[in-house]
């Protein structure tokens, strides 16, 4: 985090990334003094309602983040920033998005949790667009130009006002990760009681194990002896608001509809009352670690791994076999995970896998047979990328083996 005082004193000359959060109502002109170096401008968590015209005078600016401000429109100056690729304006009050506000080099657009009803036709004329996050708006229909987004790989359309499933998604040649739950066209059933409903008094929360956009996962002691549960469990308490992927209730429904599988995080109880929404799960053993790391600003939609991380072909085969089985299990139950990535996978030393995080999942059993096949085909591309990503960390000495080449062919067969 930087300060305006540092900026005014000239202490930030030459920096590539500037982050200011001081309840600002306008940007300080001194940012222009960074024109020779500034690439990333993060002014999230301020009180901004617009951006100055001089922003276009920053020739190296490629990323602007301005989430949690007071914008009611996407600033027009963004469209005049010639090198701008990534725009993030999550959790504002944006109702208007002009086509003139969309940079020509746009690759990543985040407008989650706003008040957008209509998107401009110009959106489809941004051919480099790979990642588009629009969950938690009031969008009723996608622009007719959407079919031109031939490089779009990830889209989040959950928690909007779409009245029909957007068939255009199934025509996009590179789309691999999508979320669409929580729209009027979705026939949301009553939460399937595939696990017993329990009281929030049935457990005692201890320390936090982790947290994400949709909730907090804690270690807990199980107290209610009427159920044959382990003494220690994990409890995910969902937040009430819309997340970057959609509504928590839809995540819960998808998780329960998927049912049990030895390679999925095991759900064993449900709390669903006026006071709390939570999922009781078996604890994951301590010897499991994350397989991958989330995409970076550079990779946009593709996972990365620790620099020293390597897998043998045999290890990759074992992980892939498990994931293919999980993929078939989910889609046999008409659930699209929406986030099939290595960073959502845990493995142990034997490469036994546990897959989780249903935040972007969508139940789709109400769609037509043709649409259902299309949804499965889209997620099959994510499965192909998953295998491809694992092959990228294969030990060099094994990359000429028949087993490696067989896995390489599999990525093409699946996609």
Q: Is residue 190 part of a domain?
A: no
Q: Are 258 and 357 contained in the same domain?
A: no
DSSP states of 163-176 as a string?
A: SS--GGGGG-TT--
Given 252, 282, 312, which residue is the final one in a domain?
282
Q: Is residue 194 part of a domain?
A: no
264 DSSP β-pair partners: 355
Q: Is residue 339 part of a domain?
A: yes
Given 179, 212, 247, which residue is the final one in a domain?
179
pLDDT of 93 strictly over 70: yes
Q: Are 301 and 276 contained in the same domain?
A: no
Q: Are 121 and 61 contained in the same domain?
A: yes
DSSP annotation of 394 reads B
Q: Are 168 and 207 contained in the same domain?
A: no
Cα–Cα dist 344/349, whole Å: 17
Identify the pLDDT of residue 192.
57
Provide the Cα torsion 393, 388, 362, 330; round to 10°: -90
Closest among 320, 391, 379, 367 to 162, alpha carbons compared: 367
End-to-end CA distance of the chain: 42
Tens-digit pLDDT profile for residues 24-65: 999 999 999 999 999 999 999 999 999 999 999 999 999 999
Q: Is residue 193 part of a domain?
A: no
CATH of the domain at 326: 1.10.510.10
Identify the pLDDT of residue 191.
54
CATH of the domain at 100: 3.80.10.10
Tens-digit pLDDT profile for residues 274-284: 778 889 999 99
The kind and range of the H/E element at 186 are none
Q: Which of 270 and 21 is assigned the larger pLDDT?
A: 21
DSSP states of 208-230 as a string?
A: EEEE-SSEEEEEEEE--TTS---
Q: Are 11 and 52 contained in the same domain?
A: yes
Q: Which range, of 205-214, 270-279, 330-339, averages the lowest pLDDT? A: 270-279
Cα–Cα dist 246/181, whole Å: 7
Total domains in the chain come to 3
Q: Are 251 and 349 contained in the same domain?
A: no
Given 115, 144, 179, which residue is the final one in a domain?
179
Work out the percent of the chain whose per-residue pLDDT is above 90: 86
Query: Are the C-beta atoms of 291 and 217 separated by less than 8 Å?
Result: no
Q: Are 9 and 72 contained in the same domain?
A: yes
Q: Are 355 and 244 contained in the same domain?
A: no
33 lies in which domain range? 4-179
Q: Is residue 61 part of a domain?
A: yes
Q: Are 72 and 114 contained in the same domain?
A: yes
Cα–Cα dist 271/268, whole Å: 11
The average confidence (pLDDT) of the chain is: 94
Q: Which residue has the tokens 């996978």?
A: 345
Q: Are 207 and 173 contained in the same domain?
A: no
- Integer angstrom CA distances of residue 309 from 76, 177, 182, 389: 43, 25, 38, 12
Identify the pLDDT of residue 353.
98
Q: Is residue 302 part of a domain?
A: yes
Q: Is residue 138 part of a domain?
A: yes
Q: Is residue 187 part of a domain?
A: no
Q: Are 13 and 127 contained in the same domain?
A: yes
CATH of the domain at 236: 3.30.200.20
Residue 147, C-beta contacts closer than 8 angstroms, at least 6 positions apart? 124, 168, 171, 172
The model's pTM: 0.94
Q: Are 134 and 250 contained in the same domain?
A: no
DSSP annotation of 289 reads E
């Amino acid at each position: 985090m930087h300060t305006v005082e540092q900026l005014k004193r000239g202490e930030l000359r030459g920096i590539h990334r500037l982050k200011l959060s001081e309840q600002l109502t306008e940007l300080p002109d001194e940012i222009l003094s960074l024109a020779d170096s500034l690439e990333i401008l993060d002014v999230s968590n301020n009180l901004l309602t617009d951006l100055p015209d001089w922003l276009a005078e920053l020739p190296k600016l490629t990323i602007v983040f301005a989430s949690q401000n007071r914008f009611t429109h996407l600033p027009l100056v963004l469209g005049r920033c010639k090198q701008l690729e990534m725009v993030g304006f999550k959790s504002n009050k944006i109702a208007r998005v002009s086509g003139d506000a969309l940079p020509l080099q746009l690759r990543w657009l985040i407008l989650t949790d706003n008040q957008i009803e209509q998107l401009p036709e110009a959106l489809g004329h941004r051919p480099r667009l790979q990642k588009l996050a629009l969950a938690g708006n009031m969008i009723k229909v996608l622009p007719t130009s959407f079919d031109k987004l031939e490089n779009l790989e990830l889209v989040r359309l959950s928690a909007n006002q779409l009245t029909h499933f957007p068939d255009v998604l199934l025509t996009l040649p590179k789309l691999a990760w999508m979320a669409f739950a929580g729209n009027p066209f979705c026939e949301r059933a009553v939460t399937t009681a595939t696990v017993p409903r329990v009281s929030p008094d049935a457990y005692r929360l201890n320390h936090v194990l982790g947290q994400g956009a949709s909730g907090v996962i804690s270690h807990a002691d199980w107290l209610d002896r009427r159920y044959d549960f382990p003494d220690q469990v994990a409890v995910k308490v969902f937040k009430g608001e819309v997340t970057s992927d959609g509504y928590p209730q839809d995540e819960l429904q998808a998780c329960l509809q998927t049912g049990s599988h030895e390679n999925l995080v095991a759900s064993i109880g449900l709390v669903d009352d006026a006071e709390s929404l939570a999922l009781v799960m078996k604890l994951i053993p301590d010897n499991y670690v994350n397989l991958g790391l989330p995409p970076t600003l550079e990779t946009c939609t593709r996972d990365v791994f620790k620099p020293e991380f390597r897998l043998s072909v045999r290890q990759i085969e074992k992980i892939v076999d498990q994931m293919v089985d999980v993929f078939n299990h989910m889609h046999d139950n008409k659930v699209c995970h929406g986030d099939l990535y290595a960073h959502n996978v845990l493995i142990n030393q034997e490469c036994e896998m546990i897959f989780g995080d249903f935040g972007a999942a969508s139940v789709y059993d109400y769609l037509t047979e043709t649409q259902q096949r299309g949804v499965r085909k889209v997620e099959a591309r994510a499965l192909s990328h998953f295998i491809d990503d694992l092959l990228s960390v294969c030990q060099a000495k094994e990359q000429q083996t028949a087993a490696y080449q067989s896995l390489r062919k599999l990525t093409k067969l699946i996609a």
